[in-house]
Structure 1
């Protein structure tokens, strides 16, 4: 019980700040490094002119220019909200609202055409539980900046309550937001990207899997043909539910990577809430997914402090390893037959599943 109360306390402290709105600071365009994040959201507008926790009937589209501060440390997101300091905090430097799907598709297409042919790809990030609109946008900007990812960043912002006590609301919102994510993915397909990588975090992984499942029912093998890979980070998903979702998809897009962490405190709390002993995100035994062509990437060794729920984005050393890994980059450029060898580490193969255990002692190649 004490452990559960401690985790709840950490959640509640994080919720004390209003994360639903900020001010736009145009001078930040000349201070930090600008990362444009293209956002589709099913959140309704709030009183401050941003997007809150209420559910909307239709998608809204925007491009948000985030200034990453000169003093930024990899793995940390210092969010500027009420009074942002562009030299020390992530700051919104500009925002352009787009009128409809057509304008959104054209915006993405224009950005793709400005890139070299080999970099015309899209990474879609779907945030997790207890996230505001700005939480997800800042996180997307941070990952793109710290990993120096190519292509165009797109964020799908579903209507989370952005409240640690709003877990049930968030679970319902995941179901509510499936059609919106499907529509956005179809839009992105029209933009002409060379490759689309779909990334989900926490409860957002349930949204990813539910959406891929319903797309498969509507258009068999769409995901296999349209997506260049799927990444699930700390998935807050029942293992058996995931197996059922995955089994409905004829061929999982490859590579299909699942980042797991057995020391994830948020998932430990989710296990208590859901009455289950484990979630997919703290799974350490590849036998449980032996029949599926997936790669479990165990990052437990990098988990330190706090909730340990976004180790991939919060660990400077892990970010360094991922950012310098030519193997990881190559894996996402191979065809579907080459899903092994993502990164150096301890590799365990059980039937179709592969487990890769990463260690801070890995030798980084310059």
Structure 2
């Protein structure tokens, strides 16, 4: 009986092999598995300058713009529905929703008079949703990110504010930047350290930005997990540059290249950073970013005051760059804006257009009236 079963098994195997040979000779083959889809490009390719949207003409209705945040401020109300200027030992996560009114003007936070006349209404905070934990924030922020369909939404933008900013000030500026740069809803992030909204407490803010370094590092690590492969771009303003400079330097010093978070564009706006300290550390940006750009101005009175206080030049002010780092672009803005001329990076169309094109194309937008190449840096002025 056993021999008979063995003979049947051999016979069936022979038939199967013969069938395979016959199918092969007839050119019948199983199709190979489909290749995986190509990765979504991080930057737009082979297109010209991308313009800003003109909200004043195009926007028909008011809308709400969400900004995800991490903050070191102490909550003033149970549940984290408002934040003070006092430091907390805990990094709080959440989302702040900002009302963007009809007739919002590009580069503007609005004004009381603009609200009355409806020509340039104020942006306002609608509400704050505090996450109960980092894990909840991760889950919520990841789920709410715009679906990636191309380079126009394959990124996150992080804003780090400067001194003399309340939480509300920082949230409104982050939202204005997000709206004017066309950052997809839920892809705008804010790190708000416990700055005072008081110019006389400048030295207090200096102490606090030093203490905020560890929290900024933690926040950027969290954002990298939320991003899930999307590009992470950063705009650091004023004193916020000090913490970013040290976080990047520590990352390069302590982690091998393959473990460092890779950034897209790093924008250093009106940097309140000592010239020599920057020169000693700026090379680190080249290790972690696709491109780094410095914006400075000879009319920035806030950074000029810092230079007088510290007796040495600051990176964010001058007729020309305070320091030249090969591989890092410098743009001198000679566009005149309202005193103290410290927010020109967010208020002027040429610079906003330049930043938008860096984010979307990894290419600047520095052609046309007002732009001029001088030696190894750029100057932009009123037309």
TM-score by shorter chain over 0.5: yes
Which residue number in structure 1 is paired with residue 332 of structure 2?
Answer: 298
Query: Do residues 65 (structure 1) and 91 (structure 2) align?
Result: no
Deviations 1:295-349 (A, max 9, x none): 001112x12221001112123x4366448x75763116xxxxxxxx552232245
Query: TM-score, normalised to structure 2's length?
Result: 0.74
2:69–2:191 Cα contact (<8 Å) kept: yes
Shift of the 123–223 alpha-carbon distance from structure 1 to 2, 3 Å rule, reads: farther
Within a 5 Å distance, the mapping from 1:328-343 to structure 2 comes to 329-331=360-362, 341-343=364-366
Which residue number in structure 1 is paired with residue 216 of structure 2?
Answer: 181
2:249–2:281 Cα contact (<8 Å) kept: yes
Which residue number in structure 2 is paired with residue 214 of structure 1?
Answer: 250
Which residue number in structure 2 is paired with residue 39 of structure 1?
Answer: 69
Q: CA deviation at 1:204?
A: 0.6
Shift of the 76–290 alpha-carbon distance from structure 1 to 2, 3 Å rule, reads: closer
Which of the two has higher C-alpha Rg? 2
Which residue number in structure 2 is paired with residue 123 of structure 1?
Answer: 157
Aligned length: 311
Distance 2:257 2:374 in 1: 28
* SS of 1:155 mapped into structure 2: strand
Say which of 176, 195, 209 aligns to 1:142. Answer: 176
Q: CA deviation at 1:284?
A: 3.8
Distance 1:234 1:326 in 2: 19
Flag structure 1 segments of 5+ consecutive residues without an equivalent. 1-29, 333-340, 362-366
Flag structure 2 segments of 5+ consecutive residues without an equivalent. 1-59
Query: TM-score, normalised to structure 1's length?
Result: 0.77
Distance 1:187 1:36 in 2: 18
Within a 5 Å distance, the mapping from 1:20-31 to structure 2 comes to none
Within a 5 Å distance, the mapping from 1:145-184 to structure 2 comes to 145-150=179-184, 152-184=187-219
Q: CA deviation at 1:46?
A: 2.0
1:221–1:250 Cα contact (<8 Å) kept: no
Distance 1:328 1:360 in 2: 23
2:98–2:125 Cα contact (<8 Å) kept: yes
Say which of 291, 304, 307 aligns to 2:340. Answer: 307
- Note the aligned Cα RMSD (angstroms): 2.7
